[in-house]
Amino acid sequence: MIKLIKNNEIIIKKSKFIAYLYEINEINCIKDIINNLKIEHKKATHICYAYKLDNNVKYYDDGEPNGTAGKPIYNIIEKKNLNNVLIVVIRYFGGIKLGAGGLFRAYSNSASELFI
């Protein structure tokens, strides 16, 4: 079962960050979600994500500097004490580099705003 719970969009220094929160119940559905989002957002620069499904945990930076995208998304999952969830944050680069700290904050804020 795949259930889209919520999505949002924020813009930081001309980069667009689109976040999606999914309820998931099996690992196999994650690949389908990511593939569908890649089709829907063909021109996206990065499709980063994190999930927690029971004891299975993964986060992925998709070309962003190591630890600046997937890890902050996963931190939100842990902070909210969630399970059986996938958070995907899609970035359209706006031409201004954010630096490692800026990327970490941008991905964290994008995931956090799903819970506002």
**Domains along the chain?**
2-115 (3.30.230.30)
* Structure letter (DSSP) for residue 67: T
Predicted structure pTM score: 0.95
* Cα distance between residue 24 and residue 13, in whole Å: 32
The closest alpha carbon to 101, from 65, 77, 74, belongs to: 65
pLDDT (0 to 100) of residue 84: 95
Q: Tokens 């902070």 map to which residue?
A: 79
pLDDT (0 to 100) of residue 73: 98
pLDDT (0 to 100) of residue 2: 73
* Cα distance between residue 96 and residue 40, in whole Å: 24
pLDDT string in tens for the chain (116-residue length): 678 888 899 999 999 999 999 999 999 999 999 999 999 999 999 999 999 999 899 999 999 999 999 999 999 999 999 999 999 999 999 999 999 999 999 999 999 999 98
* Cα distance between residue 82 and residue 73, in whole Å: 12
pLDDT (0 to 100) of residue 1: 64
pLDDT (0 to 100) of residue 4: 81
pLDDT (0 to 100) of residue 116: 80
